[in-house]
Copies of this chain bind each other. A is one copy, B any other.
Amino acid sequence: MTQLESARAGIITAQMAQVAADEGRSTEYIRQGVADGTIVIPANVNHKNLKATGVGLGLKTKVNANIGTSTDCGNIQSEEEKLQTAIEAGAHAVMDLSTGGNLTQIRRRIIEQSSVMIGTVPIYQAGCLAIEKYGAIIKMTEEDLFEAISEHCADGVDFITVHCGVTRQAVKRLKEQGRITNITSRGGSIMAAWMELHDKENPLYQQYDRLLAIAKEYDVTLSLGDAMRPGCLADGSDRAQIEELITLGELVKRAKNYGVQVMVEGPGHLPMDQIEANIKMQKSLCENAPFYILGPLVTDIAAGYDHITSAIGGAIAAAAGADFLCYVTPAEHLALPDTQDVHDGVVASLIAGHAADIVKGIPGAMERDIKMSKARAALDWQTQAELALDPVRFKQVHNARVTHTENACSMCGQFCAIKMADDYLKK
């Protein structure tokens, strides 16, 4: 039985118990959320060393780090390093998006070494094989795609991105819309281009039950991809995007009826004032399924710093109800991220998620800030470092620049406001 089927049968699985313990929620809260489909626990029966994590309503906002080779960069070692970096920095999930080298080998090594949930985009593997077999990604067959999906699921992948909602109707609406950046989802562009070239409906939509059967066998959570996500602010919340979202809502319902866990992916690039509306719309159209978002980036001009544009959008989105943030690294729009980019991307997303968790009232979130603030008021640097999101960085910056004023830091020295207030303004 999948986690969803178990929850509906009233069973508390080991994974639900783990999630409840981690989140400070009752096991019944978790079971009910999984049964309702407002919480997913991506946990492939074949991912042996996984520590189960929940994603959804009332839980801590989770962060995913994308790693993986490209046709230009990366090898197994570099991606294994990125995996460790992401986990150490605090990522709750890692997606292997490899498109270069021996994909099967890389994926299996990553699953084997990961205690956090692993996601993939199987169409990339089908695309790589199509380049080898037929000379072009676009020449892949429907069977190639389903074979890749089956292989990923059997290997132990916990969630897969599948662009099931990019229907012919959605592509028609895209063309009628007229966009600046067309499609910028990699998997989505392959799917849509394939449909155009072969004059066929999306096989993942048309044979959705076949997909559900594969996912159910291993309890793989479907992450319904948003092929039509806006690639720039000007394309935000347009008819193509919302057309696809409506379809994703229908597919959420079918997945749940089938006993398959499901979440929905979202934008992308959005002006700040459209973010909350996007989250509310997704929740409404998709029966409150967990929402997994990429960004949203709140400006298009900051390449080199898109972990920051994404942290701004991600915090607003998470505060409005988004459950799962896919990190964006400083290398986004420019190059394949390196290990430092991976670290910085995870930290930026964790900040966004935590800031949102405070206002969402997630158990324990505000308490940590209060503890930190008390340590700060006491000029207790050791406790501050321990409570910091990144204790290594904390100590590095603090210790590098010496102070001669007891307990103060080098920024204020003798002008330390806390010492001044302590001396003269005690209550």
Known: A351-B302, A417-B189. A425 touches B233 (CB 8 A): no
A304 within 8 A of B: yes
Name the B residues within 8 Å of A330 (CB-CB).
397
The reply to whether B298 and A410 form a contact with Cβ atoms under 8 Å apart is: no
Residues 346-369 (chain A) with a chain B CB within 8 angstroms: 347-348, 351-352, 354-356, 358-359, 366, 368-369
Interface string of A170-182 (1 = CB under 8 A from B): 0100110010111
A231 within 8 A of B: yes
Number of interface residues of A (CB under 8 A): 113
A418 within 8 A of B: yes
The reply to whether A299 and B424 form a contact with Cβ atoms under 8 Å apart is: no
Known: A71-B405, A411-B334. A355 touches B312 (CB 8 A): yes
Interface string of A361-400 (1 = CB under 8 A from B): 0000010111011101100000010011110011011101
Residues 200-218 (chain A) with a chain B CB within 8 angstroms: none
CA distance in complex: A427, B332 (Å): 26
The reply to whether B331 and A411 form a contact with Cβ atoms under 8 Å apart is: yes
CA distance in complex: A21, B336 (Å): 40
Known: A99-B414, A137-B420, A415-B71. A312 touches B185 (CB 8 A): no
Residues 53-107 (chain A) with a chain B CB within 8 angstroms: 70-73, 99-100
CA distance in complex: A183, B374 (Å): 13
A281 within 8 A of B: no
A-B contacts besides A272-B358, A337-B411, 16 pairs, CB < 8 Å: A71-B413, A72-B405, A73-B410, A73-B413, A181-B373, A181-B418, A231-B376, A231-B417, A234-B370, A234-B373, A271-B366, A272-B315, A299-B355, A299-B369, A301-B387, A301-B388
28 A-B pairs within 8 Å (CB atoms) are namely A70-B411, A70-B413, A72-B404, A124-B415, A181-B418, A182-B418, A182-B421, A183-B425, A192-B421, A234-B373, A272-B315, A272-B316, A298-B358, A299-B354, A299-B358, A300-B369, A304-B394, A305-B347, A305-B351, A312-B312, A312-B315, A312-B316, A316-B316, A331-B411, A333-B376, A335-B398, A335-B411, A336-B401
**Residues of A bordering B, CB below 8 Å:** 70-73, 99-100, 124, 127, 131, 137-138, 171, 174-175, 178, 180-186, 188-190, 192-193, 196-197, 231-235, 271-273, 298-305, 307-309, 311-312, 315-316, 319, 330-338, 347-348, 351-352, 354-356, 358-359, 366, 368-370, 372-374, 376-377, 384, 387-390, 393-394, 396-398, 400-405, 409-418, 420-425, 427
